[in-house]
Amino acid sequence: MNKISIYKTVNHEIHYAMSLIGGSIEIISFKFLYKALIGYMTSNMVFGINSLAENSFDFSSIYHILIVVIWMIIGAGHQFVADRYTFKKSSPLYGYAIGLSTACFFLILFMQLGHYMYTNNLLHLTPNASVMPLVTIGLVFMYIQNYIIKSGGTSYPTTTSVVTTVYILMITHIIKACNKKNDISQRKQDLDEGRHYIMVIIHFFLGAFITVKLSQEFDFIGLYLAFFILLLITFRVWVKHSNLKKT
């Protein structure tokens, strides 16, 4: 039996898996890390501006702004390394395999450190400097997740798993697919792209919804389902990469 066309390539599977995992991480960070959305810098900037305007200049007032600063440092470090070292790909999937493997390490580290801090009452009512190593680990993971999705491999890469642009693109292409003034091939292309964005949003929603339910009982350990999915997609990509090397 043929696969559903939206899953026609392993790149689509990577995109949707990372969208689901992104939803899981975001809901955990929002719930346990003082409403930090560690994959969305605009929200952190808004929270940061509000905190600076309303509060005294303590750590809580700069917490969200500091997240944005760390994100930019991670991005700068990545670009610094990319400018100085040539990465030779032995297959088109080699970069994804390395990225996903690295993401596995940071996700398990984020889960375990978060669980330790939560169960030992190290996450206080308001943010303080002690939480920043955990936040930084989460930021590194989300940077990798964003980069994997952005670099794509699908025909429709996005900069993050779910942003305002995705909703606009989704509804725009679905409406265009209903426009009988366009030829059939164009309408089919619009429908395919609209379906892609729907799948991105559905996977993000499922990841967030399931994980928030699990976290009610298991705190950060509720991310084990996301970790298991990440392991599966990582293994699949390595196998696919090995097969491509042989051809």
Q: Where are the domains of the chain?
A: 11-246
Residue of 224, 227, 173 lying closest to 201 (CA atoms): 173
Mean pLDDT across the stretch 28-39? 92
pLDDT at 1 over 60: no
Helices 10-32 and 132-151 pack at an angle, to 10 degrees, of: 160
Please indicate whether residue 5 or residue 142 has the higher confidence score (pLDDT). Answer: 142
Q: Residues 234, 18, 8, 171: what is their CA dihedral angle, to the nearest 10 degrees?
A: 180
Per-residue pLDDT at 6 exceeds 90:
no
Mean pLDDT value across residues 111-132: 94
* pLDDT band at residue 2 under the 50/70/90 scheme: very low
Side-chain half-sphere exposure of 36, counting CA atoms within 13 A: 28
Calculate mean pLDDT across residues 148-152.
Answer: 80
Pick the residue with more confidence: 161 or 229? Answer: 229
Percentages helix, strand, coil for the chain, rounded to the nearest 5? 80, 0, 20
Average confidence (pLDDT) over 196-221: 93
Angle between helices 10-32 and 94-119 (to 10 degrees): 20
Residue 159 — very low, low, confident or very high, per pLDDT cuts 50/70/90?
low
Confidence of residue 84 (pLDDT cuts 50, 70, 90): confident
pTM: 0.90
Classify burial at 42, counting beta carbons within 10 Å of its beta carbon; exposed 0-12, middle 13-18, buried 19 or more: exposed
What one-letter code names the amino acid at 6? Answer: I
Question: Residue 141 in contact with residue 149, Cβ under 8 Å?
Answer: no
Distance separating alpha carbons of residues 99 and 96, to the nearest angstrom: 5
Write down the pLDDT at residue 162: 72
Residue 161: its pLDDT value, please? 67
* pLDDT for residue 157: 66
| Closest alpha carbon to 94 in 191, 182, 202, 10 | 10
Give the residue-averaged pLDDT of 88-106: 89
Mean residue pLDDT of the chain comes to 88
Indicate whether 62 pLDDT > 50.
Answer: yes
Sequence-separated (6 or more) residues with CB below 8 Å from residue 54: none
For the chain, the maximum distance between any two Cα atoms, rounded to a whole number of angstroms, is 63
| Rounded CA separation 154/12 (Å) | 6
For range 102-117, the mean pLDDT: 97
DSSP label at residue 183: -
What integer pLDDT is reported at residue 149 of this predicted model? 86
What CA–CA distances, in Å, run from 20 to 9, 162, 174, 190, 192? 17, 10, 22, 23, 20
Percent of the chain clearing pLDDT 90 (strictly above): 52
**Residue-level pLDDT at 230:** 96
Judging by beta carbons within 10 Å of its beta carbon (0-12, 13-18, 19+), is residue 143 exposed, middle or buried? buried
Q: Quick one: pLDDT band at residue 25, thresholds 50, 70, 90?
A: very high
pLDDT score, position 153: 67
DSSP state of 91: S
Two structure tokens written together for 55: 């509060």
Measured CA to CA, the distance from residue 152 to residue 13 in angstroms comes to: 11
Amino acid at 184: I
